[in-house]
Every structure is written in structure tokens, then in C-alpha cells.
Amino acid sequence: MRVSEPAPAKLNLALHVRGTLPDGRHGLETVFAFCTDGDRLEAEPADDLGLEIIGPFFQGLSNNDNLVMAAARALREASGIKTGARLILNKKLPLASGIGGGSADAAAALRLLTSLWKIDPAHASQVAPDLGSDVPACLLSLATRGEGPGDRLRQLDDATISGTPVLLANPGVQLSTAAVFAVWDGIDRGSLGDWRSGRNDLESAAKSLAPQIENVLVWLTGQAGANFVRMSGSGATCFALFDTEEQRDQAAVGCPANWWHLATFLR
């Protein structure tokens, strides 16, 4: 029996970097939102763990050394399960693009294997923080405020988020999160209140490495019905929230051919 689980694309509606924590990670205040589309993970019972990667962005990914397998191994160890699973990852999201692809895939593996192996969901919550700062939020895949390194979470009850039409666009650039943080200016510009009046503190650093990001932001801002435009995470993917689905789709039609884009909704 094969089962499947979505790995929704993650957006940072706002991202404030508040300095460095004692353990060396960066202190963040952010609002996570998730899309209705993204990667997809399938699994079926097997004696051992194995992974096959397919889809438009499979190149450059290892079948063994990646977050999906790390999540599966960690969950099996935490739960004491001896069986395995054959996993198939359909990689639809671009790599190193600021929309949590790897973290979302790891979280999908935790949810999927919890169901397949019929184990306590507490094991998934236990191992998620060690897999990456975004993985606990991706495990929920709901609008959430994150603090600390991003894994102190509070679910948001914001009716203005769910169902919002959104267009994601990436100029075909991969950006390492570590590289972006390395050129971040280190200035704490203050706390995050309402996400719409917030900012992404990594935008300037990301633009210094990938100037094309400015072109994406300008283009999205100029689209009819776009009421909110921002870069997500450490880039280079940017997004626009739209008044209507029709306006979003019209913008998607006009998206430059050499950019990756995704017309979707917020969950």
C-alpha cells in the first residue's frame, strides 16, 4: 500500500533577525505561511529505508544524504521501529530558494512515516528541531509565528491568510542561507509586530549576492491586484499576495519565461 503526503512550500511573510543566540544560531522573529502546493512524498512498506527522487528539480540531490533520509532515520531511532519504507520524493520546488523545500520534505517524511508506521506523533515533534530551524513549523504547515531560532512557535488565527491567492517567482538563482547570513550587516532593526508592516532583514544581503531579486520584486509590485510583495527567507524566491485568483493568474501568464513561478494559495 502506497501513501502520500504534501510538502507545502513555506513563505516568510516577515522575517526579523534579532541577533545571535548563545549557541551561534540567529535569533529570529518571523511569520510562516504555507502554500497549498509544493513537493510531494510517497511511501510504501519495506524492510529497510530507501529513497528515490524524481521531478523537475531532482538533479543535485543525493538519494542517501538529504533531509528526508535524515528525518526517516531520526524518527525510526526515536520510536524504536525496526521496519523501513521505500520513499519517493517528487521534487517540484527549486533548490536553495528560500521557500523551505528541504525542511518541508523532512517534515512531510515525519508526518508520512508516523502514519505508515502507526507510531506516536510525539516522536516527530521530538526529532524535528534537530533537523533544522524551519522543520517544526513545516511539520505544522499552518500560519505560525516563530521566535528564537525559528522553532518557538505559536499558531496564528488570522483569517486574512488562509485562501489568499499568491504567486511565487524565482529568477533562476540558488542562494545558500549560510552565504546570505555571512553578508548580513548584523543590525537588529527591531521587533516584529503585524507581519504586513514588518520586513525581511535578509533582503539587502540576498540582493548583494543576487541583484536579480530586485527585478522580481519590482515586477511583482507592478502586477494588477498585487497588494503585498516580499522576498521569502534568504531568497531568491519572492512572492505577491493578490486580491483575486484571476489577477494572480493573469500575472502568472506574464511572468518572464526564464523565471520559475508557481501560482497557488495560502493554506
CA distance 148 to 153: 9
Name the 3-class secondary structure at 253: helix
Tell me the per-residue pLDDT of 17-75, one tens digit each, with 9 for 90 and over.
Answer: 998 888 878 889 999 999 999 999 999 999 999 999 999 999 989 988 899 999 999 99
Share of the chain above pLDDT 70, in %: 100
CA distance 200 to 84: 40
Q: If DSSP states are collapsed to H, E and C, what string results for 129-172?
A: HHHCCCHHHHHHCCCEEEEECCCEEEECCCCCCCCCEEEEEECC
With a cut of 80, say whether residue 150 has pLDDT above it: no
Tell me the per-residue pLDDT of 174-202, one tens digit each, with 9 for 90 and over.
Answer: 999 999 999 999 999 999 999 999 999 99
Say which of 105, 134, 151, 201 is annotated catalytic.
134
Q: What is the pLDDT of residue 121?
A: 97
pLDDT grade, residue 159 (50/70/90)?
confident
pLDDT grade, residue 114 (50/70/90)?
very high
CA 244 to chain CA centroid, nearest Å: 23
Q: What is the pLDDT of residue 253?
A: 98
233 backbone dihedrals φ, ψ, rounded to 5°: 55, -135
Q: What is the pLDDT of residue 20?
A: 84
With a cut of 90, say whether residue 1 has pLDDT above it: no
Residue with C-alpha cell 541583484?
211
Q: What is the pLDDT of residue 151?
A: 79
Q: What is the pLDDT of residue 45?
A: 96
Q: What is the pLDDT of residue 23?
A: 81
pLDDT grade, residue 16 (50/70/90)?
very high
Q: What is the pLDDT of residue 212?
A: 98
78 backbone dihedrals φ, ψ, rounded to 5°: -65, -35
Share of the chain above pLDDT 90, in %: 91
Tell me the per-residue pLDDT of 229-246, one tens digit each, with 9 for 90 and over.
Answer: 999 999 999 999 999 999
Q: What is the pLDDT of residue 27?
A: 87
Of the candidates 115, 120, 50, the one whose C-alpha atom is nearest the C-alpha of residue 89 is 50
Is residue 134 part of the annotated active site? The answer reads: yes
CA distance 133 to 11: 14
What number is the average pLDDT over the span 97-114?
Answer: 97
pLDDT grade, residue 138 (50/70/90)?
very high
What number is the average pLDDT over the span 246-261?
Answer: 98
Say which of 10, 91, 92, 207 is annotated catalytic.
10
Q: What is the pLDDT of residue 82?
A: 92
Q: Establish how many alpha carbons lie within 13 A of residue 61's alpha carbon, considering only the half-sphere containing its beta carbon.
A: 26
Q: Establish how many alpha carbons lie within 13 A of residue 42's alpha carbon, considering only the half-sphere containing its beta carbon.
A: 11
What number is the average pLDDT over the span 131-138?
Answer: 95
Is residue 91 part of the annotated active site? The answer reads: no
Q: What is the pLDDT of residue 228?
A: 98
